[in-house]
Homo-oligomer: A and B are copies of this chain.
Amino acid sequence: MIHEFPVRVYYEDTDMGGIVYYANYLRFIERARSDWVRSLGIDQNAMRGEDGVVFVVRRVEADYLLPAKFDDELMVKTAVKAVTGVRLIMTQDVVRGDAFLFQAEVTVVCVGIGGAPARLPANIRRQIH
């Protein structure tokens, strides 16, 4: 199952090269992950406030294929590649129509207070079973 999340490119996202600054794709795909998590019924504010648990990115592999420009309407496509009790691996592509601009594989974990590893929420662990 692929989660789709639209992103419009604004001035803030561009750099003097006239294209989207490379770090900003990580902002785009994080918005998509938060939207996906929300769609699973998970409230990150409650996770953090009540359980002291937050999502943390452990690893990103990212390929920049084609540039995005101001005013572009992009789509972030997120799919779960693997889930264990404590680790979630996703693929996250940014496309403009049929063109692949950016492709990433992102590993996320949960950590509690003080940075100790915590189990992923059950709603996520169930995603690919």
Contact with B along A59-83 (1 / 0, CB 8 A): 1111110110111000000000000
Contact with B along A1-31 (1 / 0, CB 8 A): 0000000101110111111011110110011
Q: Which residue of B lies closest to A71 (CB)?
A: B45
CA distance A67 to B30 in the complex (A): 17
Interface range, A side:
35 or more
B27 touches A12 (CB 8 A): yes
A58 touches B67 (CB 8 A): no
B27 touches A10 (CB 8 A): yes
Q: Which residue of B lies closest to A26 (CB)?
A: B23
Give the interface of A toward B (CB within 8 A): 8, 10-12, 14-19, 21-24, 26-27, 30-31, 34, 38, 43-45, 48, 54, 56-64, 66-67, 69-71, 115
